[in-house]
Structure 1
């Protein structure tokens, strides 16, 4: 799973055997169960990196990485400043930090202002992923209240990336996926139990 060299245009390194390099997942209320369902059905050899924004209580340390690690065969860790995105590893935004993906394939954490009263923000993650990875990015919007992610979905679409939204019938809270779908920029609207298979097909099927 070695990374290929960066090209001269300051694009992030492309991963071998992958049609997409990064999957950005966003969720809020009801999100832990939805994220667990998606990640637990991905193979250990999944060839893209995964970045996750789940709205969390900023006053408490998050146990999300530990919980997901017990339920998945792929590696899960809380994101740290400067992490290099690596295939088959899930990076969770820490509480009260925006998670951003840089053009060199590294991660940044930011305590910049709240976006729509939220930190971390799915919109900021998606917009940074779109700018860095362009048509090699996938955004996934899962269960949650509110509309976080909808602006970022537009950015992913405009840069040639692919957008998946959980269908409203299988979402515990349909606000976030519904707001994404209403943008008109969602490529696939899928029941929760079909999203992981779609990710494997998209990322690894054409490699």
Structure 2
């Protein structure tokens, strides 16, 4: 299968956003990515800030990738998943350094996929792959617009296969999506784009 997504001289980051139904979606996506993935993965999953989160442990048991909660000023590394902590926005700076902020809610949520995607668009431009998975609301739609406007590649879970279709439908509605795929097919496209399946 040939992909028509724009090829820069290689992708450098994968970013994923999810909300309701997102843990299951992330298990499927991350579980199908190889431990030697040549790029970092940044994740915004809307979590209840009133409870200590075990998302990194849950996902870490189901993927060969290293999984951790993101830390302020942390440098990203390939093959590692960085998850936005509850109630903190996650941003990335050029060069792959992370930043956490407790600035205002965006569309009633913190962390915000839009803020992360916009920072990824600015830091990585055409070397970014952004994914929107199951979730309610519109978070991520403005962000995929930003990623696409900078030449990045946008993948959205087919809303008909999502446990909650709000976020995928809002992303598709922007008209700036490269791939709309069943959840089980997204990881294969990412592997192809980042070069782990080239012969």
Specify the TM-score bucket, using the shorter chain as the normaliser: over 0.9
Deviations along 1:105-147, one digit per CA (max 9) or x if unpaired, are: 1000000000011000000000000000000001000000000
Paired position in structure 2 for 1:138: 129
Q: Tell me the distance in 2 between the aligned counterparts of 1:62 and 1:125.
A: 20
SS of 2:172's equivalent in the other structure is helix
Task: State whether structure 2 residue 142 is matched by structure 1 residue 151.
Answer: yes
Q: Pairwise mapping of residues 1-207 of structure 1 onto structure 2 (< 5 A)? A: 19-204=10-195, 205=197
Listed as ranges, the gaps of 5+ residues in structure 2 are 1-8
Paired position in structure 2 for 1:10: none
Superposed displacement of residue 104, structure 1: 2.6
SS of 1:189's equivalent in the other structure is strand
Superposed displacement of residue 206, structure 1: 6.0
SS of 2:44's equivalent in the other structure is strand
Q: Tell me the distance in 1 between the aligned counterparts of 2:11 and 2:95.
A: 16
RMSD of the alignment, in Å?
Answer: 1.2
Q: Tell me the distance in 2 between the aligned counterparts of 1:178 and 1:37.
A: 20
TM-score (norm 1): 0.90
Would you say the 8 A contact 1:19–1:206 is kept in 2? no
SS of 2:180's equivalent in the other structure is strand
Superposed displacement of residue 150, structure 1: 0.2
Would you say the 8 A contact 1:40–1:71 is kept in 2? yes
Deviations along 1:154-194, one digit per CA (max 9) or x if unpaired, are: 00000000000000121000000000000000000000000
Paired position in structure 1 for 2:5: none
Q: Tell me the distance in 1 between the aligned counterparts of 2:75 and 2:40.
A: 10
Q: May I ask how many residue pairs the two structures share in their alignment?
A: 190
Name segments (4+ residues, structure 1) moved above 2 Å: none
SS of 1:165's equivalent in the other structure is strand
